[in-house]
Chain A
Amino acid sequence: MSGPLTRRRTAELPEHPDFLWRKPQLKKSYDVIIIGAGGHGLATAYYLAKNFGITNVAVLEKGWLAGGNMARNTTIIRSNYLWDESAGIYEHSLKLWENLEEEVGYEMFFSQRGVMTLAHSVGDVRGKQRNFYANKVNSIDTEWLTPEEAKKVAPILNISDTIRYPIMGATYQARGGIAKHDWVAWGYAKAADDMGVDLIQGCEVTGIKVDNGKVQGVETNLGFIAANKVALAAAGHTSTLTQMAGFRVPLQSRTLQALVSELLEQVLDTVIMSGAVHVYVSQAHKGELVMGAGTDAFNSYTQRGGVHVIEHQLAAACELFPIFSRAHLLRTWGGVVDIAPDASPILGLTPVENLYINSGWGTGGFKATPGSGWVYADTIANNAPHALAKNYSLKRFTTGHLIDEHGAAGVAH
């Protein structure tokens, strides 16, 4: 990358770079309090300041900055979802990604190396082709690849028709790719801090004060903090917070796992996903294979998943990429993901006045970080859903206007 990007003190990484932002004195009240300093909370703070000049903002984080799912995801970025609503918000996000490093002034290793999604059965092919045509209609770049064409893109792919789940075709979004999740968070954090946003780590929200149907502020381990507006950005912990505010949300929290190999020579320069056999893999800049496994079947806040889920994913990976059978598994970990019944986000107003919700990104919200932050900031500033958020409101579960992205998002990223 060229341009005026911040490459400060990179030698000190991977230390948590708290030197990038101030250690602010907590104020007694704010215009906006954002709960959760993951990618979405930080991006929201950034766009509140940048697009609306709202800087009397605190982002409260119970742990350390971006130590939740933001630190744990496999960083796949794409916008080739099925429905118009999804195309709208994910494509908006992808367009923001394409200029983000320059805009924020911080390196994020955004790499448009393409995302290939495999189909393994006749039904799977039909579903993926439906998705492919839907993307064309929405002007989202997409290609349909035969198995031979897929192998040209990724020569290590096993396209034999004698394996248990042979590759019968694939979609390919050339503009998709990956980025370095930590650096994305740090870039947004630094830029938001520069504009005056207070980033408060080690501050857990334990209560939400509501009077006459309107939010007043939050109780925390550091005391009460008043706020004109409160915005939830707590991913897997959203239900615990809405419970404090007195309403329910249709979210279930599950463990999603990922893993990495040791550093290897570069063998894969694109991203490959297979929802059918649960394989998502890319090779990071340093050389480790980064893979996503499935979600555990049951609700959990442990950030720990079952080994059999990893085993299942690795078995499929070794069949699709025989060369991987020599790789060593270095680390596995899990995050708490918030899943809605239609596998789409919930973004907008809530039954409590001046309390906003942004959740349900589940297994696939990293890619949405810029778009989600943009749309959420707009929704908070105007106290009305942004055009791209309209159909993502809580009301859709009553009207029945669901945005069913199970095929595109439920298991895949």
Chain B
Amino acid sequence: MLSINCPWCGARDETEFHYGSQAHVAYPENPETLSDEAWAHYIFFRDNPKGWFQERWVHTAGCRRWFNVWRNTVSHQFGPSYKPFTPAPARP
């Protein structure tokens, strides 16, 4: 089980969290002009890197807040967690 660092509550067991997939996927700025292809990418396509990944988690069984974190998908090593709307720290 992962030990995940919530930026508000500190390190907690993975089972307290839910996963939110890739971080920093912004809602399209001009949705009314978006092509079907661009919609497809916004809705269905997410990065899936082998290595460092910026992803979202929500602390469901704790403070219930969303946050972002760097995590390595090959080693399960964590980099820094950070709150939404704060600048992303550099890749570890």
Across-interface contacts of A308 in B (CB, < 8 A) = 1, 14-15
The smallest C-beta distance from A393 to any residue of chain B, in angstroms, reads: 12
B75 within 8 A of A: yes
Q: Are A398 and B40 interface neighbours, CB within 8 A?
A: yes
Measured CA separation A308–B14 after assembly (Å) = 10
Main SS class of interface, A: mixed
A299 lies within 8 A of B40 (CB): no
- How far apart sit A237 and B51, CA to CA, in the bound complex (Å)? 12
Q: Is the CB of A398 within 8 A of B37?
A: yes
Q: Which of B21, B44, B55 has the most CB of A within 10 A?
A: B44
What is the size category of the interface that chain B forms with chain A?
20 to 34
A237 with B44: CB separation less than 8 A:
no
Contacts between the two chains (Cβ within 8 Å), count: 64
Instruction: Report, as a range, how many residues of chain A touch the other chain.
Output: 20 to 34
- Chain A residue with minimal CB distance to B21? A252
A298 vs B47: C-alpha distance when bound (angstroms): 13
B74 touches A301 (CB 8 A): yes
Residues of chain A in range 222-273 having any CB-CB distance to chain B below 8 Å = 237, 239-240, 243, 248-253
The distance in angstroms between the C-alpha atoms of A400 and B14, with both chains bound, is: 34
State whether the Cβ of A133 lies closer than 8 Å to any Cβ in chain B. no
Cβ–Cβ < 8 Å partners of B41 in chain A: 248
Residue from B2, B55, B73 within 8 A of A306 (CB atoms) = B2
> Quick one: closest B residue to A338, CB to CB?
B48
Specify which chain B residues have a CB less than 8 angstroms from the CB of A251 in the assembled complex. Answer: 48
Shortest distance in angstroms between B22's beta carbon and chain A's nearest beta carbon? 9
Q: How far is the CB of A101 from chain B (nearest CB, A)?
A: 36
Chain B residues in 8 Å Cβ range of A298: 2, 19, 55, 71
Whether the Cβ atoms of B45 and A250 lie closer than 8 Å is yes
Q: Does A201 contact B (CB under 8 A)?
A: no
Contact with B along A301-336 (1 / 0, CB 8 A): 110101110000000000000000000000000000
Whether B45 lies near A299 (C-beta < 8 A) is no
New contact pairs (11) apart from A239-B48, A248-B41, A301-B74, CB-CB < 8 Å: A240-B48, A240-B49, A249-B45, A250-B40, A251-B48, A298-B71, A299-B53, A302-B74, A308-B1, A397-B43, A397-B44
8 contacts between A and B (CB under 8 A): A239-B49, A252-B21, A253-B50, A298-B71, A299-B73, A304-B76, A308-B14, A397-B44
